[in-house]
């Protein structure tokens, strides 16, 4: 495990990040690196490692829709989580569905968008899925069950249970005990989310609807259907499935979308959706011979463009001489 701890530290350092609830920065941790890593290794190998509270950071949601909580573990805890995450990832990566794209080696958001684009050409309808507050509501018992099904290492299961139960240190100084969910932003959360949704969504879709394509990026997913009737049937089944696994589709954000273009000219309420920062909708396209036609294509969404402009302004401000 000592090699795992060192490799985990290198990954944590490369990812940068803010201090956790203990206020210890990466630079602080590195001043006594050998001893700090030894303590992580010693406690993990003896079963005596208990995660500290996770610092809760409030991130405003777009359009004034409240805030979401981002969890920032301590540096030492990020190292410990990365050790377990890497061990668990090695076990579960071979079983994951090829259309699961989030936080996986060799694939990413742009791959999901490209596949979605092609399938929108081939099928006329899309179910734009939104799981309500996934990271806040995912049930612990089913997460642990999924982990236990994919490892015989008791220490992996032990620490997953402890991380799930770690309290949140809120900005006002109080502690919030949790009974569900896994903090978005922690090192272990992506693999736990993917593993849970592998059983809750990916495998279920492949079993119940083997001919229907989808793309999933952690809790963000799009399902492709050949007709409105099929989309309505699949969506009804998905609502029941989410209830079975302790989740809920957001009633105001989950919808059926018609992929309208020059050849698909029906009149329907919803003809656009946004997936991973790209808005898919009817757009004018110039063919090779110069003729303009309407295609159903993605482009960077207004929300993503706004984030980019804010980021660019921050770069300029940082580079301006004082």
In DSSP notation, 168-197 reads: EE-TTS-EE--SS---TTSSSHHHHHHHHH
Q: For residues 227 and 125, is the Cβ–Cβ distance under 8 A?
A: yes
In angstroms, the CA 167 to CA 4 distance is 26
The DSSP letter of residue 227 is: S
| Three-class SS state of 233 | helix
Please report the pLDDT score of residue 318 as a whole number.
37
In this structure, is the dihedral angle defined by the CA atoms of residues 101, 106, 108 and 113, taken in order, positive or negative?
negative
- List beta partners, residue 215: 222
First to last CA, the chain: 47
Low-confidence ranges of the chain (pLDDT < 50): 308, 310-322
CA distance 194 to 199: 9
The predicted pLDDT at position 286 comes to: 76
Q: Counting Cβ atoms within 10 Å, is residue 27 exposed (0-12), middle (13-18) or buried (19+)?
A: exposed
Cα–Cα distance for residue pair 298/120, rounded to 1 Å: 10
The strands making up 292-300's β-sheet, listed across from edge to edge, are 273-275, 278-286, 292-300
Q: What is the pTM of this model?
A: 0.90
Beta bridge partners of 175: 169
Residue 194 has a pLDDT of 98
The Cα-based distances of 284 to 131, 183, 262, 267 in angstroms read 32, 41, 9, 18
Rounded CA separation 222/311 (Å): 28
pLDDT number for residue 58: 87
Residue 97 sits at φ, ψ, to 5 deg, of: -70, 145
Q: What is the pLDDT of residue 322?
A: 41
d(CA 177, CA 138): 15
The number of beta carbons lying within 10 Å of the beta carbon of residue 254 is 19
- What confidence score (pLDDT) does residue 291 get? 82
Q: Which fold has domain 2-319?
A: Alpha-Beta Plaits (3.30.70)
Write out the DSSP string of 73-129. Answer: --HHHHHHHHHHHHHHHHHHGGGS-TTB-TTBTTB-HHHHHHHHHHHHHH-SEEEEE
């Amino acid at each position: 495990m000592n090699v795992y701890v060192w490799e985990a530290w290198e990954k944590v350092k490369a990812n940068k990040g803010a201090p956790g609830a203990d206020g210890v920065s990466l630079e602080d941790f590195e001043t006594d690196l050998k001893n700090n890593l030894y303590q992580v290794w010693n406690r993990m190998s003896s079963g005596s490692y208990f995660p500290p509270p996770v610092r809760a950071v409030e991130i405003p949601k777009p359009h004034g829709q409240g805030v979401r909580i981002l969890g920032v573990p301590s540096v030492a805890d990020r190292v410990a989580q990365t050790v377990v995450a890497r061990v668990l990832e090695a076990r579960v990566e071979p079983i994951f569905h090829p259309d699961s794209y989030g936080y996986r080696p060799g694939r990413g958001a742009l791959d999901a968008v490209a596949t979605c684009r092609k399938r929108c050409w081939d099928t006329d309808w899309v179910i734009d899925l939104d799981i309500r507050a996934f990271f806040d509501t995912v049930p612990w018992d089913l997460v642990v069950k999924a982990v236990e099904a994919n490892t015989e290492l008791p220490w992996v299961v032990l620490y997953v249970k402890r991380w799930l139960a770690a309290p949140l240190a809120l900005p006002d100084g109080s502690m919030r005990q949790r009974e569900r969910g896994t903090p978005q932003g922690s090192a272990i959360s992506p693999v736990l989310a993917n593993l849970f949704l592998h059983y809750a969504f990916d495998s279920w879709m492949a079993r119940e609807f083997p001919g229907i394509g989808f793309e999933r990026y952690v809790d963000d997913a799009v399902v492709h259907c050949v007709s409105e009737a099929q989309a309505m049937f699949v969506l009804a089944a998905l609502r029941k499935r989410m209830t079975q696994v302790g989740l809920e589709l957001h009633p105001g954000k989950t919808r059926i979308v018609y992929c309208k273009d020059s050849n698909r000219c029906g009149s329907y309420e919803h003809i656009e959706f946004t997936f991973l920062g790209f808005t898919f909708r009817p757009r004018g396209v110039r063919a090779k011979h110069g003729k303009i036609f309407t295609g159903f294509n993605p482009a960077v969404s207004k929300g993503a463009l706004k984030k980019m402009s804010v980021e660019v302004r921050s770069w300029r401000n940082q580079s301006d001489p004082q």
